[in-house]
Structure 1
Amino acid sequence: MELQEHLSKCLIEYSYRSEIITEIINAVKLFNSFDIKISEHVFTDGRAEQLLTINGAVPINSSVIPAEFRRVRHSVPIALYLRKNFPLSAPICFISPEENQELLTTGMVDSNCRISLSYLEDWKWPGSDLRSLFEIMIVEFSSEIPLIFLDEDEGTASNVKSCESFMNKKRPVYENFVNRSKQTFTCCICEDVIKPPAILATCCGQIIGCDSCVKEMKANNCRRCPLCRKIAPGLKPINGLDEFFEEMNGISELRTANDTSF
């Protein structure tokens, strides 16, 4: 009764007050706690409007959480804004990351934290309703969690998404590392990743290339450093990097064979 009275006061400017009250009372039963109030929402065109807002936390199926983190109850905090013509129009839904959470952009959530679901896009009342929306969120967020949770005891990030999603997120970092490494350790003669042992030119202090390429250069009477152009450069093999260069060559061959592989 208290909730119904509170909603009646908040919905003075809404046309479908009784329908909204019925929907909300039925839907919030899925939440352990929730907060309903009037708050300002700014639309993409800059308009600001006072709308009824539902703040709650969508529970996540614990089976998708790594075992070592299941001692902490995980949920996805959300904020729903109901437009004045609700339930004829779909609610505007956002994720509201808390202090120990970081947003992880997925196909369901953009960088502005706005939730995008086909159920919202196809919203058509009375066939669509809040309780069904929340039930769909539970399923969707349990299969593809849009947050990184920070473990409260250790303060370390635990990515509870699948390995594939994590790798996709980190792929740009990986690609950048490989590209920078290849530029740094590319033979200036064959223009490929250096094959060990690497040769250092003591005249300029730079690694110039593969031992085999440098030998071929000398066999063709090339007596200048290919980088600083000094005549008769001192050449010195670099030991201890063989394993690194072999790994770099392996990565290069793998990327050539399949550009989409990690």
Structure 2
Amino acid sequence: MSRINYARHRQVAQLYLENNTVLTKNTVIPGSDFVHAKMAWVQKDILDLINSAQVHNRQRIRNDITEVLERSLNNLSLKLSLYDFADGSSEELLCLVGTIEIEYKSKCAWYNIPVELWIPQNYPYSAPMCYVKPTPNMYIKANTHVDQNGAIHIPYLENWNQVSSKSNLVDLITQMSLVFGKLSPVYTKSSLPQAQSSAFYSNSSDSSSNNKSTNNDSSGNNKCVICVDADIDCVVLECGHMLCCLNCSKSFQQCPICRQQVQRVKKIYKS
């Protein structure tokens, strides 16, 4: 699998390649020209990957990928790898992989969302296949824009074919950032309250006392660990963990704390 990293350079001057300068890895490059030479190598690597892929519109794909990789708010790399389709077939496709930055709920809190954007061979006439790819310390928060498998279904993608001549990767990533800034597609394990790591309900005779002491410990942190807005107002059964609001409980099928299968969720009422 081939892969390159663009490393967030926005100011790209006249590339050495445009001046027909022959570069090798052993070329001695003056310090002031180092960035320009690096950009030339990156352009060459992009072109090599595109030439290796069986794409139909190479120049359009090259332009769009280059523009994406120039953006400072993205930390994306380009790779060429096998993509497995739902029908069991597979194709070697170009893929942008890495993170995009979002400003969560316009609160000046910036987060990196890990994604993969697979570019179909007939791009731009077909929309990219886009996924949230959580790291080991993350869970997917399924919602109207992201399913349990991480597949992204934002309106820009759904309407891609209607305006395919104008649809592009830069605008797609911009729309992802805006949508995810309002409704995050992931949450981290570290956000789970430590006090809620033990079951609130058990079959033991002292379950009521355990429940009381645990609730007292977590009284200062009564917010849903997923949306961080609503109060915790439900209990996950049969494990008995209380960690989220009723609405967010619909986003997982296994308890995020103990990984037990969720049988039912019961709303609770506090006096």
TM-score by length of 1: 0.58
Cα deviation digits, residues 191-242 of structure 1 (max 9, x gap)? xxxxxxxxxxxxxxxxxxxxxxxxxxxxxxxxxxxxxxxxxxxxxxxxxxxx
Which residue of structure 2 aligns with residue 106 of structure 1? 143
| 1:38 is aligned to 2:38 | no
Does structure 1 retain, via aligned residues, the 8 Å contact 2:75–2:100? no
Choose the corresponding residue for 2:174, options 135, 139, 145: 135
CA distance 1:138–1:112, shift in 2 (3 Å): same
Choose the corresponding residue for 1:115, options 152, 155, 164: 152
Letter in 2 for 1:56: G
Does structure 2 retain, via aligned residues, the 8 Å contact 1:56–1:77? yes
Residue 162 (structure 1) shift: 4.4
Which residue of structure 1 aligns with residue 68 of structure 2? 27
CA distance 1:40–1:161, shift in 2 (3 Å): farther
Percent identity for Structure 1 against Structure 2: 23
Letter in 2 for 1:128: S
What aligned pairs does 1:1-262 form with structure 2 within 5 A after superposition?
1-12=40-51, 13-28=54-69, 29-63=71-105, 74-123=111-160, 124-151=163-190, 158-160=225-227, 162-163=229-230, 166-170=245-249, 176-177=265-266
Does structure 2 retain, via aligned residues, the 8 Å contact 1:150–1:158? no
CA distance in 2, matches of 1:35, 1:52: 10
CA distance in 1, matches of 2:143, 2:103: 18
CA distance in 1, matches of 2:104, 2:149: 26
Letter in 1 for 2:247: N
Residue 4 (structure 1) shift: 1.9
Letter in 2 for 1:149: T
Residue 151 (structure 1) shift: 3.2
Residue 127 (structure 1) shift: 1.3
CA distance 1:100–1:125, shift in 2 (3 Å): same
SS at match of 1:142: helix
CA distance in 2, matches of 1:99, 1:155: 18
Residue 131 (structure 1) shift: 0.6
Does structure 2 retain, via aligned residues, the 8 Å contact 1:11–1:52? yes
CA distance in 2, matches of 1:84, 1:163: 44
CA distance in 2, matches of 1:152, 1:170: 15
CA distance in 1, matches of 2:124, 2:42: 19
CA distance 1:176–1:105, shift in 2 (3 Å): closer
Cα deviation digits, residues 14-54 of structure 1 (max 9, x gap)? 12111111111112314442211111111111111110010
Does structure 1 retain, via aligned residues, the 8 Å contact 2:104–2:180? no
CA distance in 1, matches of 2:91, 2:101: 29
Residue 118 (structure 1) shift: 1.6
Which residue of structure 2 aligns with residue 204 of structure 1? none
Larger mean CA deviation between 160-169 and 27-36 belongs to 160-169
Larger mean CA deviation between 94-103 and 163-172 belongs to 163-172
Does structure 1 retain, via aligned residues, the 8 Å contact 2:67–2:170? yes
CA distance in 1, matches of 2:169, 2:228: 26
- Structure (1/2) with the larger helix percentage: 1
Unaligned runs of at least 5 residues, structure 1: 182-246, 251-262
CA distance in 2, matches of 1:2, 1:31: 22
SS at match of 2:174: helix
Letter in 2 for 1:79: E
CA distance in 2, matches of 1:168, 1:5: 49
Alignment root-mean-square deviation, CA: 3.4
Unaligned runs of at least 5 residues, structure 2: 1-39, 196-223, 232-243, 254-261
